[in-house]
């Protein structure tokens, strides 16, 4: 059974590598983000991606609903999402790094199958965490392919979010880490799903495709947040 799991994981990672080399679609004309949803600085956003790399994350995480995460920031009065992401270059030669983009782009249908918005219970800490994430973006922090959260020279997605809140005095997750072992890498790391279990975050919006029945509920939740 263990060998079968390892083989399946290897196959998924190989497919993800192949797709990354070939490049993905840049069509971001559609978004899953509900119209009118008000985001707050410090909100934690999660998405389930549609790439093979995303499937690799959820395959490795037995409790994984999502494969990627980021944090909402206020950039000159405009809400943006800062996140550490691989294989999404903005131009030829663009390194894997901490990026900033609109929430609509983060939840673009070319990248996301579903998502969720988590809101911190402490608004002051939320603002401080958003500022810390902006610092990571402005210093051109690279993506951490070693998935080592013991330093901040480079960061992976969940590391960026938890580090930002650590700077704000809040520990979103405990010290437990997931042990991942493959022929290419052996690490102890955090998954986006760990954020769902944080007592400092509450879910305010589930994001699903418009053709699913749950979308009506999502829009209702979004309207409540606007009141």
Task: State mean pLDDT over 16-32.
Answer: 50
Q: Is 26's pLDDT higher than 70? A: no
Q: Is 7's pLDDT higher than 50? A: no
Q: Is 23's pLDDT higher than 80? A: no
Q: In this structure, what DSSP letter does residue 33 have?
A: S
Q: What is the pLDDT of residue 16?
A: 43
Q: How far is CA 95 from CA 85, 139, 143, 146, in A?
A: 10, 14, 8, 15
- The percent of the chain in helix, strand and coil, each rounded to the nearest 5, is 35, 25, 40
Q: What is the pLDDT of residue 81?
A: 98
159 three-class SS: helix
Q: What is the pLDDT of residue 79?
A: 98
CA distance 129 to 189: 21
Q: What is the pLDDT of residue 216?
A: 35
Supply 135's token pair.
């610092």
Q: What is the pLDDT of residue 182?
A: 82
Choose among 120, 30, 132, 48: nearest CA to 82.
132
Quick: pLDDT tens for 214-225.
443 444 444 444
CA distance 202 to 161: 15
Q: Is 83's pLDDT higher than 50? A: yes
Q: Which residues, including other chains, have CB under 8 Å from residue 208's CB and lie 6 or more apart?
A: 32, 114, 214, 215, 218
Quick: pLDDT tens for 28-71.
459 999 999 999 999 999 999 987 778 788 888 877 899 999 99
CA distance 194 to 188: 13
Task: State mean pLDDT over 67-87.
Answer: 97
Cβ–Cβ under 8 Å, residues 36 and 222: yes
Q: Is 191's pLDDT higher than 70? A: yes
Cβ–Cβ under 8 Å, residues 225 and 204: yes
Task: State mean pLDDT over 162-172.
Answer: 98
**Considering the chain, what is the average pLDDT of its residues?**
84
Q: What is the pLDDT of residue 29?
A: 58
State the pairing for strand pair 186-189/178-181: antiparallel
Q: Which pLDDT band, with edges at 50, 70 and 90, does 212 fall under?
A: low
Q: What is the pLDDT of residue 178?
A: 93
More reliable by pLDDT, 7 or 142: 142
Q: What is the pLDDT of residue 139?
A: 97
Quick: pLDDT tens for 95-120.
999 999 999 999 999 999 999 999 99
CA distance 120 to 173: 13
Q: What is the DSSP string of 35-86?
A: TTPPP-TT-EEEEEE-SHHHHHHHHH-TT-S-SEEEEEEEETTEEEEEEEES
């Amino acid at each position: 059974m263990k060998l079968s799991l390892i083989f399946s994981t290897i196959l998924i990672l190989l497919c993800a590598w192949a797709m990354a080399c070939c490049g993905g679609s840049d069509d971001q004309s559609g978004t899953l983000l509900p119209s009118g949803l008000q985001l707050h600085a410090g909100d934690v956003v999660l998405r389930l991606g549609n790439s093979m790399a995303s499937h690799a994350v959820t395959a490795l995480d037995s409790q994984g609903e999502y494969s990627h995460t980021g944090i909402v920031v206020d950039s000159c009065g405009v809400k943006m999402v800062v996140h550490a992401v691989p294989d999404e270059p903005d131009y030829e030669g663009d390194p894997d790094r901490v990026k900033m983009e609109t929430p609509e782009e983060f939840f673009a249908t070319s990248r996301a199958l579903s998502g969720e918005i988590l809101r911190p219970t402490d608004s002051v800490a939320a603002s401080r965490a958003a500022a810390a994430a902006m610092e990571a973006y402005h210093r051109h922090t690279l993506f951490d392919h070693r998935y080592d959260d013991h330093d901040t020279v480079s960061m992976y997605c969940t590391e960026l979010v938890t580090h930002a809140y650590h700077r704000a005095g809040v520990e979103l997750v405990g010290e437990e880490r997931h042990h991942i072992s493959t022929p290419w890498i052996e690490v102890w790391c955090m998954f986006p799903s760990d954020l769902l279990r944080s007592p400092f975050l509450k879910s305010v919006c589930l994001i699903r495709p418009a053709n699913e029945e749950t979308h009506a509920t999502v829009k209702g939740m979004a309207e409540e947040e606007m009141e």
